[in-house]
Amino acid sequence: MITALTRNETWSLLTLVIACFSVLANTFQGDGEPLIASLALSGIAFAATFSLIRWLGGVFMRAGLKGKDMAKLRRPELPETMGAVCAIVYILLIIVFIPFPFYKDIVAATSGGGNRDVVLPVEHVETGRFLHRFPHSKLASYLSGILSLQSIIILGIGDDLLDIRWRHKVFIPAFSAIPMLIVYFVDFGVTQVVVPAPLQRFLGPTVDLGWLYYVYMAAFAIFCPNSINMLAGINGVEVSQSLVIAVLLLINDSLYLAPFTPYPHPAMDSHLFSIYLLLPFIGVSLALWWHNWYPAKVFVGDTYCYFAGMVFAVVGILGHFSKTLLLLFIPQIFNFVYSTPQLFHLIPCPRHRLPHFNVRSGLLEPSVAEWSRPPSKLVALALEILHQLRLVRVWKNEEGDITESTNLTLLNLWLLWFGPMREDKLATHIVVLQLFCGAIGLLVRHKLALWVFKVDNRAFG
């Protein structure tokens, strides 16, 4: 494990940081251009994360934050929980970013004791299309998003340290979503949703879901982090899928800012909000990806998966496009649904379900769950059907009883379909799958949604 930057890396990162700082300094000359500042800060985030991952590798190992890479011949020990470094750099950067999009809309003089008895409104300067600033009232939303992200980092680190049980872990994101939901409640409180056109005759144009909307948001916030944490276990796959989702979201966001979109678009603020949160996320994730792609030098830890999922949940909920977001989670949704028989223990669920590393061939193969006693007739029948559909593979003993069946994860299924392959090839396949499904999803969102809703909200106004 190299714990220092090479001379080449040092100079490249230094150049990047200097360039970013110059861009940042330039944004101060006008009224501040949040989008450009966000880009520059993301460059700094990349450089900082890259360097810190290198420098802290040894420190983490000494502190016992380490794990064995089981899918390698020598099973090297690597630093764990490096996602925490990512996440902390990210949080710091999006906090430092606050003054760029939020101008002061009140300037107050005080007569002491914390009261604001002299309030002077200052005129709001609109500085152009891409240089848009947020109204001050969005600050609370932004802060609540950061609070939720910080909460999941604290709980994620706790999980990585204390090895919390699966059935408790699932609710970590629920706890972390509380700040966001509570601020949503006191600050915004919109629980109406637009009704699809065919149903508007019965329900009217919008329907108020009330507290059900909060249940939906909580479920969404539980799903995103956990689903990323489930599609995990081989080098680079956690970071790659997060990067693909982030980039697709960014493309979707830019549709609302692009020159061909009518201006000012009512959803523009929400999508700027999303961009401001995603750009530095891509910055820190790229730095982690560099070290985590095959052959991995560091592990990301549950912390990263939770953190990445929560970034998406925050963006989706506070940006009001959670349904669109789910279209980018198709592989994760499939993986979750496909896993349920094991999660609910209809099929035995071993502690780890990652693909099996074949020491002789150096390739990954589907891993299996062993049946200590044969399944009930119903389960056996279902497994047989799935086996015929090539959705699972079962092995039987001479009596015809099922003794082993493949673990129900997307990674194992992929190996079942396309045969054993090397770890990086499998990860690449999954990344391409994610990209393909996501692109289709966005196409459906913007082209086909018109069949169900009257307008694509991108063309609103």
Stretch touching a second copy by CB under 8 A, among 10-18, 46-54, 124-132, 180-188: 180-188
Interactions with a second copy, residue window 64-123 (CB under 8 A): 64-65, 84, 88, 91-92, 95-96, 98-99, 102-104, 106-117
Residue closer to a second copy by CB (options 138, 291) is 138
Interface with a second copy, residue 171, by CB under 8 A: no
**Whole-Å CA distances, 445 to 275, 277, 431, 441:** 19, 22, 21, 6
Residues numbered 203-242 forming contacts with a second copy, rule: CB under 8 A = 206
- Of 60, 289, 293, 338, which lies in the binding site for a second copy, with binding defined by CB under 8 A? 60
Among 14, 18, 59, 203, binds a second copy (CB under 8 A): 59
Which window, 71-79, 236-244, 266-274, 275-283, contacts a second copy (CB under 8 A)?
A: 266-274
From the CB of 194, what's the least distance to a second copy, in Å?
5
Q: Which is nearer to a second copy, 429 or 446 (CB)?
A: 446
- If one asks whether residue 147 binds a second copy (CB under 8 A), the answer comes out as yes
Comparing CB distances to a second copy, the nearer of 243 and 317 is 317
Output 209 or 432, the one with its CB closest to a second copy.
Answer: 209
Of 217, 87, 228, 69, the C-alpha closest to 146 is 87
Among 70, 190, 251, 258, binds a second copy (CB under 8 A): 190
Smallest distance, a second copy to C-beta of residue 350, A: 22
Q: With binding defined as CB under 8 A, does residue 334 bind a second copy? A: no
Q: Residue 21 or residue 103: which is nearer to a second copy going by CB? A: 103
Q: Which of 5, 12, 175, 439 binds a second copy (CB under 8 A)?
A: 175
Q: Which of 11, 130, 171, 185: binder of a second copy (CB under 8 A)?
A: 185
Q: Which is nearer to a second copy, 59 or 432 (CB)?
A: 59
> Applying CB under 8 A, which residues contact a second copy?
56, 59-60, 63-65, 84, 88, 91-92, 95-96, 98-99, 102-104, 106-117, 136-137, 139-140, 143-144, 146-147, 150-151, 153-155, 157-158, 161-163, 175, 178-179, 182-183, 185-190, 192, 194, 206, 266-267, 269-270, 319-321, 457, 460
